[in-house]
Amino acid sequence: MNTILVIEDNQEMAENISAILQLGKYAVLTAPNGKAGVEAAQQMHPDLVLCDIMMPELDGYGVLHLLNKDPETANIPFVFLTAKADKSDFRAGMNLGADDYVTKPFDGFDLLKVVEMRLKKNAMMKATYENNIDGINNFFSHAKELQEFKKLSESRPVRNCKKKEFLFMEGQNLNDLYFVNSGKVKTYKSNGEGKELITGIHGAGSYLGYVSLVEGSASHETAIVLEDAEIAFIPKQDFLSLLYSNKEVAQKFIKLLSNNLAEAEGRLLDIAYQSVRQRVAGTLLKLSGKADLVTVVRRDISSLVATATESLNRTLADFKDEGLIDLLPDGIRILNAAKLEKVVRL
């Protein structure tokens, strides 16, 4: 049962609010002024605070300021109760970090609806979502419970894509955000001579196409399936709605997108500070997966390592002589992952 703290100096109003919340199956705490309310919040850690603005000793703005300064209470949803409808009061509260307002006099149903929505949103912010199709579907399901996301699609199509199948082409306008649930996808750009510049090898948990969707521009790269892959398609409108309709939800969604951003940053650091030998070892480990077999062609590996194919071949030959790998007709077999990891750390 969720606990609501009501900070209200008018006893009759506090009793009325408490009765409505109890009908909604919430546990209720009350405080007669701002100072007592801050103390109650810090001691009891309620799931939501309903607070009047005009109160003796410490007004609602002061209460919100103090609770936001305390790490243990800063994330508690905070809703102002106010008889003032002036827009400047609304702006002042929102600038301080209030989550919502309820203007007196209010209907009991409206109060319960605001409380319910704020609790759902807070639960969503605290939840952890796996970076797979089930996690995405759970995220969307929770988002649809919020009023601003009612129009999100009911499902996100999932398709099994074969090796060498194109997902999208450079210069194409995209209608979806692509999520790689399994398999591998290569993205690359082409220069004027038709040569490829690989921009990434994307495995399970990667998102593709979001830069073009955010910019509203054609794709800057081509995506082709390297290994049979399961791809989920998130409609463009859903993606943009999650980004722009609510800042809190957008921040949560961006965390799901951040994995391949971190990978891109890490790759740039590797190129800047690691030797070719270290980069080859690290790339083989990243590409091998559970089967300890790398099936990516050497030309693509050399692009990922940012070295010439000749340098890659020499390094692979050294690794084979050292017993770290075996060079097979269909790929590169990892024989000693532990020693390759040592190479990366040297």
Q: What is the pLDDT of residue 338?
A: 92
Give the separation between CA 169 and CA 287, rounded to whole angstroms.
23
pLDDT tens per residue, range 76-103: 999 998 876 555 666 676 677 788 888 8
And the tokens for 114?
Answer: 């605001």
Q: What is the pLDDT of residue 199?
A: 85
Q: What is the pLDDT of residue 285?
A: 92
| Three-class SS state of 170 | coil
More confident residue, 128 or 235: 235
Give the separation between CA 62 and CA 68, rounded to whole angstroms.
10
pLDDT tens per residue, range 261-299: 566 556 656 666 788 999 899 999 988 877 789 988 888
Q: All domains of the chain, ordered by start, with CATH? A: 3-126 (3.40.50.2300), 155-257 (2.60.120.10), 274-345 (1.10.10.10)
Is residue 336 scored above 90 in pLDDT?
yes
> Cα 131 to the chain's mean position, in Å?
9
Residue 174 gets which letter from DSSP?
A: P
Cβ pair 133, 141 in contact under 8 A: no
- Per the omega criterion (within 30 degrees of 0), is the bond before 105 cis? yes
Mean local confidence (pLDDT), 70-75: 91
Cβ pair 44, 36 in contact under 8 A: no
More confident residue, 140 or 290: 140
Supply the DSSP string of 116-148, one letter for each residue. HHHHHHHHHHH----SSHHHHHHHHHHHTTSGG
How far is CA 12 from each of CA 29, 50, 103, rounded to the nearest angstrom?
Answer: 15, 15, 16
| Residue located via tokens 């830069």 | 211
pLDDT tens per residue, range 20-60: 999 999 999 999 999 999 999 999 999 999 999 888 889 99
Least confident of 37-51, 117-131, 248-262: 248-262
Q: What is the pLDDT of residue 264?
A: 57
How far is CA 94 from each of CA 53, 67, 89, 90, 91, rounded to the nearest angstrom?
Answer: 13, 14, 9, 6, 5
Q: What is the pLDDT of residue 2?
A: 92
Q: Which of 36, 34, 29 is nearest to 4 (CA)?
A: 29
Q: What is the pLDDT of residue 306?
A: 75
